[in-house]
Amino acid sequence: MSELSQWQWDSWVDRALSQLASKRLLRSTRPISLSPTPDLDLDVQTFDRPGPWDRSSVQVALDGPTFRQWLSDLPSESDADSDSNSDTNWSSASAPPQKLLLFSGNDYLGLSSHPAVSQAASKAAQAHGMGPRGSALISGYTNYHSLLELSLAHLKQKDDCILCPTGFAANMAFLTALASIPSLLSPTPTPSAPHPIAIFSDQLNHASIIDGIRLAERQSQAKLFIYRHSDMLHLHSLLSTCSITMKVVITDSLFSMDGDFAPLTQLVELRKKHGFLLAIDDAHATLVCGENGGGAGEYFGCEKDIDICIGTLSKAVGCHGGFIATSKRWKSLIQSRGRSFIFSTTIPVPVVAASLAAISVGRRERWRRRAIWRRVQDFYSLSGLPISSPIISIIVGTEEAALSASRHLLKSGFHVTAIRPPTVAPNSCRLRITLSAAHTVDDIQKLVATLSPWITTLNSNLLEFSKL
């Protein structure tokens, strides 16, 4: 962003904060002190290789009746399928549990089962129970929460951070706070006033971004522009013809259903030219990308050019919650005007303690990031599919085709759920496969062998498309 544009956004937010302060509506958190206070640089136990606990993050079991019910809910490969016709007593409570390899979760580094994470949660629970319950602005915010915010701000190379109950809530909090700026700057807008904010959103952004923008449109008459997925020429064209001064571009950094990265370096170049505020949802890249696990910004070398970094603690961190890493001024605005932050109970203290430990482990055990990217390379080498991340999308078409493919995988011992509308567009139903540092090369080999009919078809389609 140009220096003038950066100054403009800082000025707008500062003026909005001044208005809130003049009306005594500026809110701040006052942490309740819980003893003992955890160390920000936690002295957690780390390891230089996988332990037996890692497998528990990718090995799951379904009880017999649940497994048989799931199979019966999915279309059979043929009417004579023995699994759907031979066993009429599938709901028997005596049916043995079915062990499955999980390839559909978001625990990319396997941290959810790490001893340091479970020990931190247990220790905090024994000392404080669930901790004080309430919203952050009333009674739910503690020194544990404050330390986690500092840890996340450091991870994302930002001045500050604000915790939210979920990643969904984090996007909602940012966008509703953003939408409050025009009314704070112009308390009595005229009915004929132009749209005060222009929001440019990638076509494939997450539902939480979409719903947050819908609220922003209602709240401040924000004007929405949807640009074609990762199409920077289209975005440049929309930005060039937009006369609205306040411009915001928001995008997923790593798209959850397609597994591709947003072109962040190109977005940064457009930011310098057009002076927009750049916000990214880094949910699937946090701890997965970058030497230190800083996410897509670190991976592409543009951390300082991202104004708002939204993320989650429920994926690679292996815990639960959401956050917004940004400047102190934006934090003040969000905690005063971000509705999903203001009106939600904070994350329980044991979960906060576990998240602190997980981030510390994730930064130190760098071999986990190397391991997951090796699994990505393994999958590519064995399948030939042009994948670029631990999220692999195998589009099979209709709902019935996707459900049949999921059934085939289930019978073969793999937990992979069919993704259908409204999550994806009609006739683009797919198998969404996610890799983990806890998976082994043998796991990948078995999965690719089971997927071979769909991989062959997909590779053939890609070859035909390349000839066009």
Q: How many CA atoms lie within 13 A of 305 on its CB side?
A: 22
Structural domain total, the chain: 2
Q: Measuring CA to CA, which residue among 423, 426, 433, 431 is closest to residue 398?
A: 426
pTM: 0.93
Query: Do 209 and 239 meet the contact criterion of CB atoms below 8 Å apart?
Result: no
For residues 233 and 266, membership in a common domain is answered with yes
For residues 86 and 141, membership in a common domain is answered with no
Residue 414 sits in a domain whose CATH number is 3.90.1150.10
- Token pair, residue 106, equals 């978001």
Angle, alpha carbons 303-151-278 (nearest 5°): 30
Helix, strand, or coil (residue 284): coil
Question: Is 9 part of any domain?
Answer: no
For residues 71 and 163, membership in a common domain is answered with no
Residue-number span of the structural domain to which 243 is assigned: 17-35+114-364
Question: Is 49 part of any domain?
Answer: no
Question: Is 59 part of any domain?
Answer: no
Residue 149 sits in a domain whose CATH number is 3.40.640.10
* Residue 292 burial (CB count, 10 A): 16
Question: Is 55 part of any domain?
Answer: no
- Identity (one letter) of the amino acid at 190? T
For residues 263 and 412, membership in a common domain is answered with no
The residue out of 308, 342, 364 marking a domain boundary is 364
pLDDT tens for the chain, 468 residues long, are 555 567 799 999 999 999 999 999 999 999 999 998 777 666 789 999 999 999 999 999 999 999 999 998 888 765 444 444 444 444 555 678 999 999 999 999 999 999 999 999 999 999 999 999 999 999 999 999 999 999 999 999 999 999 999 999 999 999 999 999 999 998 665 545 556 999 999 999 999 999 999 999 998 889 999 999 999 999 999 999 999 999 999 999 999 999 999 999 999 999 999 999 999 999 999 999 999 999 999 999 999 999 999 999 999 999 999 999 999 999 999 999 999 999 999 999 999 999 999 999 999 999 999 999 999 999 999 999 999 999 999 999 999 999 999 999 999 999 999 999 999 999 999 999 999 999 999 999 999 999 999 998 887 776 665 555
For residues 371 and 384, membership in a common domain is answered with yes
For residues 251 and 394, membership in a common domain is answered with no
Question: Is 261 part of any domain?
Answer: yes
For residues 252 and 184, membership in a common domain is answered with yes
For residues 356 and 374, membership in a common domain is answered with no
Question: Is 252 part of any domain?
Answer: yes
For residues 312 and 383, membership in a common domain is answered with no
Cis peptide before 36 (omega within 30 of 0): yes
For residues 422 and 333, membership in a common domain is answered with no
For residues 201 and 130, membership in a common domain is answered with yes
For residues 461 and 406, membership in a common domain is answered with yes
